[in-house]
Amino acid sequence: MLSEAGCPGVADPGAVVVGMAHSLGWRVEPLVGPSSILLALMGSGMSGQSFVFHGYLPIDRQDRARTVRHLEKEAQLRQQTQIFMETPYRNDALFADVLANCQPNTRLCVASNLTAPDAFIRTLTIREWKSQVPDLRKKPTVFLLL
């Protein structure tokens, strides 16, 4: 199995195929490739010693807001980078919910289109982000909180 972008099996349905290969006794050989999650962490300036990847947050707005507040508390309590993502067409809604539910001094990294020519990665406080909202429509994006 090959993937043209990302890292199969990490926040990717490729894990199902790899699991099937193991159950059939086939040889599995992971190869190094780009992982937007790790690229975002590396470029964020946040803790790479302690981090958690949460994948996709809830779609329901109230559940998502509650989850964002919980992730912010975990980041503060554990000094642990919280990493999550969204489908490209829902990025703007997630970004707005993060801005509305996090404290002004919480740091947020937005890492978008990381392996493309128009790659964007920036870490600012919530307060700073409120005055410079990026256009994330239809762009693969990873979010990091600390």
Of 16 and 57, the structure prediction assigns the larger pLDDT to 57
Sign of the torsion formed by the C-alpha atoms of 48, 14, 110 and 43? positive
Structural domains in the chain, CATH included, are: 1-33 (no CATH), 35-145 (3.30.950.10)
Residue showing tokens 């199902």: 16
- Which string of DSSP letters, residue by residue, matches 92-106? HHHHHHHHHHS-TT-
The reported pTM is 0.86
d(CA 36, CA 103) in angstroms, rounded, equals: 26
pLDDT digits (tens, 9 = 90+) for 79-138: 999 999 999 999 999 999 999 999 999 999 999 998 899 999 999 999 999 999 999 999
pLDDT reading at 6 higher than 90 = no
